[in-house]
Amino acid sequence: MKPSPVPAAPDPAGGPAGTDTATDTGARQDAGRSPGRVTLRSDLRASVPDGLIALLVTAAVFALIYARIKAKTSSTVSVMPFMADAGGFWMYFLSQAFGWTALLWAWTTVVLGLLLSGPTPRWLPMSAPRLERLHRTTSLNTISLIFAHALLFAAELVRHDTARWNSAVWTAFVEAFVPGGYDSGTGRWAMPIGQAALYLAIPLGLLFYVRHRIGPRTWRVLHRFVIVVYVLSVWHTLLYGTNVWYDGWFRTTVWLLQLPIAALLLGRLLFPARRSERLARPGAHTGPAAGWALRFTGRFAAAAVIAALLAILVSGNDGGRSVPPEDTSSTHNHD
């Protein structure tokens, strides 16, 4: 049994790949420790209200998952029939709940980052500085939610292991946190994908708070890899989440939610805030040819993703498994 989604891509400083959210603000704050300088400590304090909301959402998701398990209407019961004992596996379902909340918080963080990467839209209900702070606090809470998701999954493994406690703890640690440690079925691919998302998310998110040491330019370059974290997170979810194991409206909705991100990213690439990032005509480009090719490829890839998402929504072919007949559901195993 494996965790449902391993969520995704926190980014305290800005949006995902190719975005420079709060870059100008950050650059102005990089020189010296002014009273208005953003610090990790100040953002941790500011993240408390957002974190409490995340916990409430997690509680609601857990209650929904638990109720569906008891009613035997969850696809998890079909994937892993032994989990019909809701009380016996409550910790696993709580891990799932934290995973879904983390994915939702990561999605929000990415969307905010893309919205803030250029001129702030006038229709947004908050000022740019307040949105930037919200963007950073949701990022920090995403990291916490990811870790809680993985930790509860490991705790569930320990809980059901009959070996001595030290052996059980070590086995759970390896399977939950070490790439390649879990080598059964789909998990041999899905688990390392989720773990990669976690281990990339933490440094890429926290680098914002040391950008004055590594330099704003280096931070911006590293910052663009955040989109990779988010992609890995969604990939893990669709590949291994028992709640989206089969074809159906919920799995299709997860695909649908990627459309705003792809559209915002394409808009960010087509109309970059920095003049140096604009795509000139091939003959008018003055920099290295590789730079022009990279910018063109990024725009083409974003447009291709939008086309693929629309094709999924129109066709209904979302890549899920076929729902098994009721009388053979017991033959299905999450491995």
What pLDDT sits at residue 292? 64
Does some domain include residue 16? no
DSSP string, 238-290: HHH-GGGSBSSHHHHHHHHTHHHHHHHHHHHHHS-SSGGGS---TTT--S-HH
Which one, of 264, 245, 263, lies nearest residue 254 by Cα? 245
H-helix or E-strand containing 136? helix 128-159
| Whether residue 132 is found in the same domain as residue 222 | yes
217 belongs to a structural domain:
yes
Structural domain of residue 188, as residue ranges? 23-245
- What pLDDT band is residue 125 in, cutting at 50, 70 and 90? confident
- 42, pLDDT greater than 60: yes
Shared-domain flag, residues 153 and 263: no
- Residue 335 is assigned to a structural domain of this protein: no
Are residues 154 and 212 part of one domain?
A: yes
Residue 294: band (very low, low, confident or very high) from pLDDT cuts 50, 70, 90: confident
Tell me if 11 is assigned to some domain. no
Examine residue 324 and state whether it is found in any structural domain, yes or no.
no
Percent residues over pLDDT 70 in the chain: 79
pLDDT number for residue 220: 83
Residue 205 shares a structural domain with residue 309: no
End residue of a domain, out of 245, 260, 290 = 245
Q: Are residues 289 and 191 in the same domain?
A: no
Q: How many domains does the chain have?
A: 2
- Torsion-angle region of residue 248: left (phi > 0), alpha (psi -120 to 50) or beta? left
Assess whether 97 and 36 both reside in one domain. Answer: yes
The answer as to whether 329 is a domain residue is: no
pTM attached to this predicted model: 0.82
Mean pLDDT of the chain: 81
Contact 171, 163 (CB under 8 A): yes
Q: Is residue 106 part of a domain?
A: yes
Of 206, 227, 245, the domain-final residue? 245
**Mean pLDDT along residues 317-331:** 64
Q: 61 and 28, same structural domain?
A: yes
Whether residue 54 is found in the same domain as residue 115:
yes
Domain shared by 252 and 118, yes or no: no
Residues 6+ apart with CB under 8 A from 135: 11, 12, 14, 15, 21, 22, 109, 112, 113, 116
Q: Which residue has the higher pLDDT, 70 or 35?
A: 70
pLDDT at 49 over 50: yes
Asked if the structure places residue 9 within a domain, the reply is no
Judgement on whether residues 298 and 203 belong to the same structural domain of the protein: no
- Same domain, yes or no: 108 and 206: yes
- 273 shares a domain with 285: yes
